[in-house]
Structures are given as C-alpha cells and as structure tokens.
C-alpha cells in the first residue's frame, strides 16, 4: 500500500493560517490504514487547528468529510457540496488523492496534510517498510524475490558493494544488506548460480517518461 506520514502540526497550521473556512478531507484508503488520514484523525486535526486559531485571536470554521478513496473520481465527486462551502481543502489523502481533488475542484486551493512516502508493507506493529520502488521493470525472478532496487541503498544489480559490514548496509538505519539476503535465499533455493550472470542495467525509459498509464488487468497500453 501507499505509506504516508502526517506533516508536523506547525507545518499544517502555517499552511492554513490565512484560511477561515477549511474542509479537512479524509481518505479511508491507505492513509487511514497508516493511522493519519482517516475521519477520526481528520476530526482531531480540525479540532486542534480551530483551537490554534482561537489562541491567536482568529476564527476558523472547519468541516470534516471522508470518502472511500480519494484516488477515484466517483468518490472525489462526493466532496462537491463541502467544497462549495470551503475556502481551501486540507487533504489527508496521499499525493494522488490531493491531485485528484485539485483537478476536480480547480477553484479551491488544495493543501497537503501528509507526506506521501513509499509503497510498503507492515513489518512490525505500526511500522511500514518500503518494498517496491515502482520502477516498472521487475527483476524479482533474478533476485530471489528480494528487490535490490528498493532494498539496496545504491539500488545495484550486482552487489553486494564493498560497504556491507556485519550483514548490514553501511548507510545505516539497521537495514540488512539486500544482497546478502538475496545470496542467502538463492543459496537455500539452490539457485545461487543466477548471481554469476551479470544483472542487467535498469530500463528507466518507461519510469521517467512522464506519468505512466496501465490498462485494467495488467500491461501498459
């Protein structure tokens, strides 16, 4: 799923400081799962912003609305009545949701309440880890089902580099060296010979050609 993190309250307060009627837009998709973008969090944030404004002698009216997913037009349409009443919308949806709001409601400023981080999965309670860089050129069949482009700090295809120490990446953060994981897994599978082939250079021609498109059920058009 898409992993997001809340922006700091100070950032959000600064972003919304000129606004008198604010719509706080929740999303019940990934950002709600991350515990930052659901309706409950939107209510709490709205309360805090109103209090913050009052302490500064200002009046802020807030309205909270949520939809199933901000990344689909038919759900985004549900915001229409509230958008008509708002000066600006603070969205707790991911970057995709925020842009869908901006497209659908061209006259309402869209303010991001979260930072959209990566495609990841839960590795410990409340901890998500990036597992896919969305490069569009999957090599997991060559690497034991472990993505070096994502999990190696240098994203290299013929690792490990000279910096791995004690099984961990030199870059830190307690990440195991992806190439040691790949080696161990391929050894276990009796397929370590795959590593004797030169891993191919990545093909970025699709990933860096503007927004990508994909048809239902798979392959890009």
Partner 1 sequence: MRGVSGLARLLGAGHFVVTCEVGPPKGVNVDGLTEKAALLKSFVDAANVTDCQTAVVRLSSIAACVHLAAMGLEPVVQMTARDRNRIAVQSDLLGAYSLGIRNVLCLTGDHQKFGNHPGAKGVFDLDSVQMVEMVRRLGAPGEFQCGEPVCGEPPVFFVGAVENPCAEPLELRVRRLEKKIRAGARFVQTQCVYDLDRFRHFMGLVRARGLHEHAHILAGVTPLKSVRMARFMRDAVAGVYVPDEVVARIEAAADPAAEGVAMCVEQIAALREIEGVAGVHIMAVAWEAIVPEIVRRAGLYPRPADDEPKDRNR
Nearer to partner 1, 82 or 132 (CB): 132
Nearer to partner 1, 13 or 168 (CB): 168
Quote the CA–CA distance of 182 and 145 in Å, as a whole number.
Answer: 8
Nearer to partner 1, 176 or 199 (CB): 199
Q: How far is the CB of 204 from partner 1 (least distance, A)?
A: 7
Q: How far is the CB of 164 from partner 1 (least distance, A)?
A: 7
Identify which of 111, 149, 115, 154 has the alpha carbon closest to the alpha carbon of residue 2. 115
Phi-psi region of 174 (alpha: psi -120 to 50; beta: other; left: phi over 0): left
**Residue with token string 């901000």:** 70
Q: How far is the CB of 168 from partner 1 (least distance, A)?
A: 9
The 3-state secondary structure of 151-183 reads: HCCCCCCCCCCCCCECCECCCCCCCECHHHHHH
Q: How far is the CB of 174 from partner 1 (least distance, A)?
A: 14
Quote the CA–CA distance of 210 and 57 in Å, as a whole number.
Answer: 45
Alpha-carbon Rg for the chain in angstroms:
22
Give the Cβ contact number of residue 76 at 10 Å. 22
Nearer to partner 1, 15 or 157 (CB): 157
Q: How far is the CB of 116 from partner 1 (least distance, A)?
A: 18
Q: How far is the CB of 207 from partner 1 (least distance, A)?
A: 12
Nearer to partner 1, 24 or 186 (CB): 186
Quote the CA–CA distance of 101 and 57 in Å, as a whole number.
Answer: 30
Q: Calculate ∠ Cα 116-117-119, nearest 5°.
A: 110
Nearer to partner 1, 81 or 200 (CB): 200
Instruction: List interacting residues with partner 1 (CB under 8 A).
Output: 153-165, 167, 170-172, 179-180, 183, 192, 195-196, 198-202, 204
């Amino acid at each position: 799923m898409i992993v997001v993190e809340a922006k700091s309250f100070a950032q959000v307060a600064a972003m919304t400081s000129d606004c008198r009627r604010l719509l706080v837009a929740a999303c019940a998709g990934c950002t709600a799962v991350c515990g930052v973008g659901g309706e409950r969090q939107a209510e709490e944030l709205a309360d805090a912003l109103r209090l913050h404004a009052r302490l500064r002698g200002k009046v802020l009216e807030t309205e909270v609305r949520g939809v199933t997913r901000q990344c689909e037009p038919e759900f985004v349409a549900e915001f229409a009545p509230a958008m008509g009443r708002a000066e600006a919308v603070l969205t707790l949806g991911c970057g995709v949701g925020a842009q869908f709001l901006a497209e659908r409601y061209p006259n309402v400023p869209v303010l991001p309440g979260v930072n959209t981080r990566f495609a990841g999965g839960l590795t410990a309670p409340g901890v998500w880890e990036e597992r896919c860089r969305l490069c569009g050129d999957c090599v997991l069949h060559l690497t034991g089902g472990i993505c070096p482009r994502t999990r190696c700090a240098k994203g290299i295809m013929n690792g490990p580099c000279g910096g791995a120490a004690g099984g961990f990446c030199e870059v830190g953060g307690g990440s195991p060296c992806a190439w040691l994981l790949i080696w161990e897994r391929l050894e276990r599978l009796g397929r370590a010979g795959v590593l004797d082939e030169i891993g191919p250079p990545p093909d970025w021609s699709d990933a860096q050609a503007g927004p990508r498109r994909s048809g239902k059920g798979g392959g890009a058009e």
